[in-house]
Amino acid sequence: MTYLNVSDVTLSFGGLNALTNVNMHIEKGLITSIIGPNGAGKTSILNCISGFYHPTKGDISYGGKNLTHASPHEISSMGIARAFQNLELFRGLSVLDNLLLARHSKLDYNFFQALVFWGKASRVESENRAYVEDVIDFMELEPYRKSLVGNLSYGVQKKVEVARALTLDPDLLLLDEPMAGMNVEEKEDIVRFIMDIQKERGVTVVLVEHDLGVVMDISDRIHVLDFGQLIGSGTPAEVAANQKVIEAYIGEE
Ligand SMILES: Nc1ncnc2c1ncn2[C@@H]1O[C@H](COP(=O)(O)OP(=O)(O)OP(=O)(O)O)[C@@H](O)[C@H]1O
């Protein structure tokens, strides 16, 4: 079942097309990876889906709603969360505070209720707290909950970044190179969490990743971009046998 539909999307910066007439269908409940050589347009497509860029041409719809011109905040409230390639965490705050702050953007009580911290506000606040504690538990971040993010290893910070996105209770999670800069053990760890996020929490995952071994292992579907164009889509086996994809990767070496 198509869930997120990228339809004929072009994204131009002056004379340069970062994306050209890209069509991509993301199915609900699956792990879909977007791969391609450097500069192929992978982050650009995530930026379009999450509202940081708006396509120059084409449409993006999600669960039947058009989000082409929606803001990042509107898109996040539709159930799409993103973990960033460059960490978007507050380094001087603890893991717990970072996650509470992220979760806070979902609060639906108004300023005056918050001020007196009474009634609905206090109920919502304790629900948020419980939700964040559940994410800490799920991501096995308990040993670090009071640690300042800036003092943690890069691998743990990347995990906190994924946890930050999870506190938004997403239906769709966009992960931009969650394994970049990680050692083998850290990679194995985060791969396990990505698979659990899909299976146990029922979240649809879109993954941008350079590690082709990992991508082939965990993806249900793969889309391949090269110079801003979609050159292949399908299961890992289909993509691995695609001549255009093979050439794009050989050309990169
Ligand atoms: N804000 C911008 N202004 C101008 N050009 C941009 C901008 N963002 C991206 N580009 C260009 O668009 C093209 C695609 O970039 P993008 O970051 O999407 O590629 P990528 O596949 O994510 O690359 P990488 O694997 O290196 O992260 C590149 O040529 C890049 O220089």
User: Does ligand 1 come within 6 angstroms of the Cβ of 39?
Assistant: yes
Query: Does 62 lie in the same domain as 181?
Result: yes
Query: Does 183 lie in the same domain as 163?
Result: no
- The domain that contains 202 carries what CATH number? 3.40.50.300
Query: Does 101 lie in the same domain as 49?
Result: no
Q: What per-residue confidence (pLDDT) applies to 24?
A: 97
Residue ending a domain, choose from 136, 167, 198: 167
Let me know if residue 161 belongs to a domain: yes
Q: How confident is the model at residue 113 (pLDDT cuts 50, 70, 90)?
A: low
Least confident of 108-112, 135-139, 225-229: 108-112
**Is the confidence at residue 123, as pLDDT, over 80?**
no
Sign for the CA dihedral angle at 146, 149, 153, 158 comes to positive
User: Is residue 172 a contact partner of residue 79, using CB atoms and an 8 Å limit?
Assistant: yes
Residue ending a domain, choose from 101, 132, 167: 167
ipTM over 0.90: yes
Residue type, 214: V
Q: What per-residue confidence (pLDDT) applies to 127?
A: 83
For ligand 1, atom 16, which residue shows the shortest CA distance?
Answer: 41
Query: Does 198 lie in the same domain as 186?
Result: yes
Q: Which whole number is the average pLDDT over 19-46?
A: 96
**Is the confidence at residue 59, as pLDDT, over 90?**
yes
Query: Does 253 lie in the same domain as 174?
Result: yes
Q: Which whole number is the average pLDDT over 135-162?
A: 95
Rounded distance from Cα 43 to ligand 1 centre (Å): 7
Residue ending a domain, choose from 167, 193, 218: 167
Q: How many domains are contained in the chain? A: 2
Query: Does 250 lie in the same domain as 209?
Result: yes
Let me know if residue 84 belongs to a domain: no
Q: How many residues does the chain have?
A: 253
**Is the confidence at residue 105, as pLDDT, over 80?**
no
User: Does ligand 1 come within 6 angstroms of the Cβ of 252?
Assistant: no
Domain extent, residue 36, equals: 1-79+170-253
Query: Does 253 lie in the same domain as 189?
Result: yes
Give the span between the Cα atoms of 239 and 136, in whole angstroms.
Answer: 36
In the structure, how many helices (H) and strands (E) does the chain have?
10, 10
Q: How confident is the model at residue 179 (pLDDT cuts 50, 70, 90)?
A: very high
Query: Does 112 lie in the same domain as 175?
Result: no
Backbone angles phi, psi at 223, to 5 degrees: -115, 140
Mean pLDDT in the chain? 90
